[in-house]
Structure 1
Amino acid sequence: MTILTHGKERLSQEQRDALVQQNIAEMGMFIGGLIREGQFPQSDLDVSSSVISHSIMSWAKEFEDKYQGPDFDYGKGIPELGDPAGYLDAIDNFTDLKMREAGWLTEEYINDEKRFWHNMEYYVDIEFRVTRTIKVKAFSKEDAIAQAEAWWEQVSLPEAIENADDMDEFYIKETLRVEDAGK
């Protein structure tokens, strides 16, 4: 059964289920490559194969639900996935993010400047009696906070006085990726 939405043919549930299976295969191959390269030290982290399998199945479904397979307009870009070139590139980048969130990647891999998450822009709201938003380039929310703290260390006394009455307070209120700020 073919479903039409806004004049465009949509995939049936059976076709979507087949895509989830393809996602599982792509994610499994990607993770296998990370294991071979030593970037996912599975044995060092004591992560069982069943945990990996369960995660892959969950991530494959989540990816399909969020990006709707080939129905997604990749030409518009997916900033949170590093603006992938297409469907398979998007799956690999999504898997990379999930692996990073799970804590399954080496620091060397995470900090590699070739990773798509490097130099993503974040807005960091800083409270300094008044709230000021600065833009920083970072690879994660935590790194954006560290960049904001480093910025604060470089603020001169005249600049601090110009922006607030009291320079004793510094508090990070909120951190948002630039792409997420407009939502």
Structure 2
Amino acid sequence: MTILTHGKERLTQEQRDALVQENIAEMGMFIGALIREGQFLKSDLDVPSLEVSKHIMSWAKEFEDKYQGPDFDYGKGIPELGDPAGYLDAIDNFTDLKMREAGWLTEEYINDEERFWHDMEYYVDIEFRVTRTIKVKAFSKAEANAQAEAWWEQVSLAEAAEKADGVEDFFIKDSFRVDDASRMY
């Protein structure tokens, strides 16, 4: 049974379940390649294969739920996945992010300039009496916040107080990717 939504053919639940299985296979091959290349942290090689398998199954389902397999319009881009060329690139980039979040990648791999997340730009809303937005290059929201804090440490208190009537508190209100400029107020 094929489902039509807005005139576009949609996959059935059975077809979606089959795609989750394909996602599991693609993610497994991708992670296997990372292990062969030495990009999986050696100290974490002790991670039981069952744990890695559980993560892969969870990630495969999460990917399918979020991006809806080949039904997703990749032409519109997926900025958080580095605007992949298609379905398989999207799965690989998604797996890259999940591996990074799990702490299973080497620093060398994470900092490689070829990674799609290298030098992503974020806007960070800083509240200091009034909200000010600065732009930083980072590979994650957490790193963008850390860079904003480092920026703040370099601002002299006298200079800051002069610009904000003596207020001394610094607060990060929000961070978001530059390509999500719709969040700008």
- TM-score, normalised with respect to structure 1: 0.90
Residue 43 of structure 2 corresponds to: 44
**In the aligned structure 2, how far is the partner of 1:96 from the partner of 1:153?**
32
| Match runs of 1:104-183 below 5 Å | 104-155=104-155, 160=160, 163-166=163-166, 168-180=168-180, 182=182
Aligned residue identity for 1:141: K
5+ long unaligned stretches in structure 2? none
Runs (4+) of structure 1 exceeding 6 A deviation are none
The structural deviation recorded for 1:161 is 5.2
**In the aligned structure 1, how far is the partner of 2:81 from the partner of 2:99?**
13
User: RMSD across aligned C-alpha pairs, in angstroms?
Assistant: 1.9
**In the aligned structure 2, how far is the partner of 1:53 from the partner of 1:154?**
45
The structural deviation recorded for 1:182 is 3.0
The structural deviation recorded for 1:50 is 0.2
**In the aligned structure 1, how far is the partner of 2:12 from the partner of 2:112?**
40
8 Å CA contact 1:124, 1:135 repeated in 2 = yes
Determine if the alignment matches structure 1 residue 85 to structure 2 residue 85: yes
| Match runs of 1:37-76 below 5 Å | 37-41=37-41, 44-45=43-44, 46-76=46-76
Aligned residue identity for 1:49: S
5+ long unaligned stretches in structure 1? none
Aligned residue identity for 2:9: E
8 Å CA contact 2:123, 2:134 repeated in 1 = yes
8 Å CA contact 1:129, 1:166 repeated in 2 = no
Larger deviation, residues 65-74 vs 120-129: 120-129
Identity %: 82
**In the aligned structure 2, how far is the partner of 1:177 from the partner of 1:128?**
21
**In the aligned structure 1, how far is the partner of 2:163 from the partner of 2:63?**
43
8 Å CA contact 1:128, 1:166 repeated in 2 = no
Larger deviation, residues 129-138 vs 75-84: 129-138
**In the aligned structure 2, how far is the partner of 1:142 from the partner of 1:111?**
15
| Match runs of 1:12-23 below 5 Å | 12-23=12-23
**In the aligned structure 1, how far is the partner of 2:159 from the partner of 2:123?**
20
**In the aligned structure 1, how far is the partner of 2:97 from the partner of 2:118?**
12
**In the aligned structure 1, how far is the partner of 2:117 from the partner of 2:163?**
31
8 Å CA contact 2:120, 2:137 repeated in 1 = yes
The structural deviation recorded for 1:110 is 1.1
Residue 26 of structure 2 corresponds to: 26
